[in-house]
């Protein structure tokens, strides 16, 4: 029996992978109910290739919006660079899709046949003695488990208990995310447009036939600054913000996990954000959790626990590290404030041939699993 802590994207995908391999699992999740919450999410072609293997790619595509073009623009929606995601989708025989997180979660849940998902179970303590793990939950329950997978996200309790030197770093960027019904111009209906202004950027992502997911980042956490910062952007930005009910706006700080050398200890292993929480700039955090889940499940089927965990980190670490670092660098570039530096940056971006951007995206979309 494999015990998974956390029914987020990584935990649910792992459960699906284990089911497909006929391996037994149970999930303990802190939320009282698995209700469809959150904003939107981009599932790049690499993530969708895994979902294709698991037989749910078509459902996701049907419920979301296929993305054909990824554009970086200035604040007036003038293109700085573009990636032809459609061409890459054809090449990898797998689309890039944007979808509401809640819809994705529902598809994952509905695709599982086991009912071994226990909600309202927040893990608060963990002790590990050799190969015995004692898990304490906030309702007072104590469970002794053999193999445990920590899919409990960026603030992982498991990671904090096992690896106290790992740290969550704040990157001084602040993010607002919203979803609203919006009649987007048809030219933008299969595009993601991320607009870079001065110390502020805004992404516009269609996630189905009628809803738009947007994300706005600033270098300033003053909530009054948030809409103000975007007044000089293309008018579609203010329209989107105005059209979004305040209860549909989520605020958070941009963080990254640093200093975690090992992803496992004895018979406990971390996956997803618990192991490598990254900035959202490449839209790859969930994608990497999904890849983790698939690789780990395959290894656990073939190897003993220690070998599977050791091989898992060996296979995954270099790729993930590369994405974490690139994503952080993109974030710093995107949030520049100096007019001179932004001018140089924009000029350079316009000069880089699309083929180079596409080659870089292709490396991310290429999974060797």
* Integer Rg of the chain from CA: 20
> With CB under 6 A, what is the number of residues at the site for ligand FAD?
33
Q: Which region among 29-37, 75-83, 126-134, 234-242 touches ligand FAD (by CB under 6 A)?
A: 29-37
Among 45, 71, 94, 289, binds ligand FAD (CB under 6 A): 289
Helix (H) or strand (E) holding 293: helix 285-302
Torsion of CA 337, 340, 344, 346, to 10 degrees: 50
Whether 311 and 296 have beta carbons less than 8 Å apart is answered as: no
Among 4, 15, 18, 42, binds ligand FAD (CB under 6 A): 42
Helix (H) or strand (E) holding 4: strand 2-5
Task: List the one residue out of 203, 367, 272 whose CA is nearest residue 6.
Answer: 272
Q: In angstroms, what is the minimal distance from the CB of 138 to ligand FAD?
A: 8
Contact call for residue 291 and ligand FAD (CB under 6 A): no
Q: In angstroms, what is the minimal distance from the CB of 174 to ligand FAD?
A: 10
In the complex with ligand FAD, which residue's Cβ is closer, 70 or 336? Answer: 70
Q: Which region among 49-57, 285-293, 306-314, 346-354 touches ligand FAD (by CB under 6 A)?
A: 285-293
Q: Which region among 71-79, 184-192, 229-237, 266-274 touches ligand FAD (by CB under 6 A)?
A: 266-274
Three-state DSSP state, 268: strand
Determine the Cα–Cα distance for residues 87 and 182; give it in Å rounded to an integer: 27
Q: In angstroms, what is the minimal distance from the CB of 348 to ligand FAD?
A: 25
Contact call for residue 194 and ligand FAD (CB under 6 A): no
What is the number of H-type helices and E-type strands within the chain? 13, 19
In the complex with ligand FAD, which residue's Cβ is closer, 125 or 239? Answer: 125
Contact call for residue 197 and ligand FAD (CB under 6 A): no
Q: In angstroms, what is the minimal distance from the CB of 8 to ligand FAD?
A: 2
CA atoms within 13 A on the CB side of 357: 20
In the complex with ligand FAD, which residue's Cβ is closer, 175 or 346? Answer: 175
Determine the Cα–Cα distance for residues 63 and 41; give it in Å rounded to an integer: 12
Q: Which of residues 125-164 bind ligand FAD (CB under 6 A)?
A: 151-153, 157
Among 103, 285, 309, 323, binds ligand FAD (CB under 6 A): 285
2, two tokens? 């494999």
Residue 281 DSSP code: G
The single residue listed with the structure tokens 């919450």 is: 37
Contact call for residue 41 and ligand FAD (CB under 6 A): yes
């Amino acid at each position: 029996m494999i015990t998974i802590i956390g029914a987020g994207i990584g935990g649910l995908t792992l459960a699906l992978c284990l089911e497909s391999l006929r391996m037994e699992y149970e999930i303990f999740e802190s939320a009282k109910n698995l209700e469809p919450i959150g904003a939107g999410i981009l599932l790049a072609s690499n993530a969708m290739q895994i979902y294709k293997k698991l037989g749910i790619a078509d459902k996701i595509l049907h419920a979301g919006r296929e993305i054909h073009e990824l554009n970086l623009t200035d604040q007036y929606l003038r293109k700085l660079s573009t990636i032809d995601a459609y061409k890459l989708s054809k090449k990898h025989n797998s689309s890039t899709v944007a979808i509401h997180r809640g819809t994705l979660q529902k598809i994952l849940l509905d695709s599982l046949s086991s009912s071994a998902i226990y909600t309202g179970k927040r893990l608060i303590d963990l002790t590990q003695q050799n190969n015995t793990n004692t898990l304490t939950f906030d309702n007072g329950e104590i469970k002794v488990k053999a193999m445990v997978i920590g899919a409990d996200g960026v603030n992982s309790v498991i990671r904090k208990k096992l690896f106290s030197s790992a740290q969550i770093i704040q990157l001084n960027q602040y993010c607002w995310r919203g979803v609203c019904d919006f009649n987007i111009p048809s030219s933008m209906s299969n595009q993601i447009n991320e607009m870079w202004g001065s110390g502020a950027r805004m992404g516009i992502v269609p996630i189905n036939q009628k809803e738009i997911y947007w994300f706005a980042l600033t270098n300033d956490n003053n909530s009054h600054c948030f809409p103000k910062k975007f007044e000089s952007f293309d008018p579609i930005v203010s329209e989107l913000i105005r059209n979004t009910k305040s209860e549909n706006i989520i605020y958070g700080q941009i963080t990254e996990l640093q200093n975690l050398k090992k992803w496992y200890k004895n018979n406990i292993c971390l996956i997803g954000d618990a192991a490598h929480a990254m900035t959202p700039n490449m839209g790859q955090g969930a994608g990497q959790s999904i890849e983790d889940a698939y690789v780990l499940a395959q290894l656990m089927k073939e190897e003993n626990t220690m070998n599977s965990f050791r091989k898992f980190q060996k296979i995954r670490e270099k790729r993930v590290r590369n994405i974490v670092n690139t994503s952080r660098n993109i974030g710093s570039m995107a949030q520049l404030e100096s007019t001179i530096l932004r001018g140089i940056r924009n000029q350079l971006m316009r000069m880089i041939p699309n083929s180079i951007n596409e080659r870089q995206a292709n490396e991310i979309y290429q999974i060797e699993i």
